[in-house]
Structure 1
């Protein structure tokens, strides 16, 4: 078993220089490169308190441990290991970028203290058959004010409505998942006003009618959709087309409502006397009634009588 220790660091990375000791080197170390070294465990590295960037991708790690000392860490690369849980990250409060793609993580959790995290990469988790990547609501809420980049490609995800709280997102990639409902997708995207790039290639929703047009009109700031740039003239045309379509729909609805009111008024007529219900001619007991004379007719009748 290969364990990452200060002795291993000194052996592999330290180059002797005049006047610089190994201890001094470890204390001032900011970048540590140990990718693809068959590392299975992280030992005591507490002397490396100035560490800001740690490369441990393409190893054999099964958990995240022994990093509580790294309060200055800003970039952590742990992709392509065998990590199953997102543990022991709460002390990394300066962490800005976290790479965990290609592991065995089933639940995104344990990031409640990382209020400065801007990028989270979780693509291609090695999940069990029928399993999909899940998100802890507490973690999502904690990241809602900071997270700008989220990559969840190829994780069997069927629904992203719970991600709607991530209102600062600028780059979102969820390619090769199982997203199907375009209406639900539109509702989420409307809550991401700063979104610049969106990648949903390989999802069933991409086959929906007017898929691209609908998303372009919803995402007013979007610059790239599924790897293709969005022309601003095209966006404005689609927005105007949508507005015109909605105006026509409202006008049609208003006309239908007006016709319904007229029909209702006709069916409840005034009859001979105000307040009488209209009775069809073929109704039982119906009898024609003599029309009342108008005021002019009465006046003319009186004149005829006077001069007869």
Structure 2
């Protein structure tokens, strides 16, 4: 009897000692076997690296979806003429991807169109820090300088741009326009180069002004006619045409007045009476004609 009790106790003890091993074995068996195979499958293919924020040359490339969305919003706002909204969106895009030079250039462009020239300069300068020597950045900065009246600095930048890209019609035109006041001959050469690359009404108009400053009215009229044929409703062309016509009319009046010096000795009352009697139309000399150069 005692041996039987001892055997039962020994059996129970052995069962208790073996139970943790059984539980542990059951735990291992019940685990999903796919975990090991998943690790094995993941080893050959390395996970794709997401592009870093702000990398990439183009707008929206590597800059994230939100940045690309802001860049598109800038373009849409500029197309509508809403420069305030364009500046806000461009600022967000540039600050979201600060290493993207093109976004800073976009901010500079939008700010220049919106009249915020200081912000425009900051945008171009930050873009040029990230992409030194960029033709786009240097050209945009020169255009901002020109809008601010800083013509010498604009000309210095344009020389760099034209040395790198001598067939840029926009930069040739701007450089010629800036040189128009001080050196019409140099301006004419630059403007004709721009006209050879890409003809436009604006270039024709500037060439007409250059010829006018060089006292070549026939050549000036020829290019003014070309500008009007290209853009008959352009306000600048119409304004220049009106000023030229007014100038010619004033010069003709002054010439007519000089041909009749006897009118100078007449008092206004006698002059009016003599005019009615002779039925001639000789208006008084306009005071504005004296201020017009080359008016003979």
What TM-score comes out, normalization by structure 2 length?
Answer: 0.31
What TM-score comes out, normalization by structure 1 length?
Answer: 0.30
Question: Bigger radius of gyration, 1 or 2?
Answer: 2
Greater fraction of residues in strand: 1
